[in-house]
Structure 1
Amino acid sequence: MDLSMNLPNPLDLLIAPAYAQAAPQGPSLMSTLAFPVILLLIMYFLMIRPQMKRAKEHKAMIEALSVGDEVITNGGIAGTVRAIGDSFINVEISSGVEVRVQKGAVGNVLPKGTLKSA
Structure 2
Amino acid sequence: MRNAALVLGIIGGIWAMIVGFFGYGYTTFVEQHGAIGEMGKQVDHPMVIKAASFLAPVLAIAGGAMARSQNQPAGVLLLAAGAAIWFAFGFNVFTMFPIAFCGLGGILALAARQPDTH
Relative to the length of structure 2, the TM-score reads 0.26
Larger Rg: 1
Structure with the larger strand share: 1
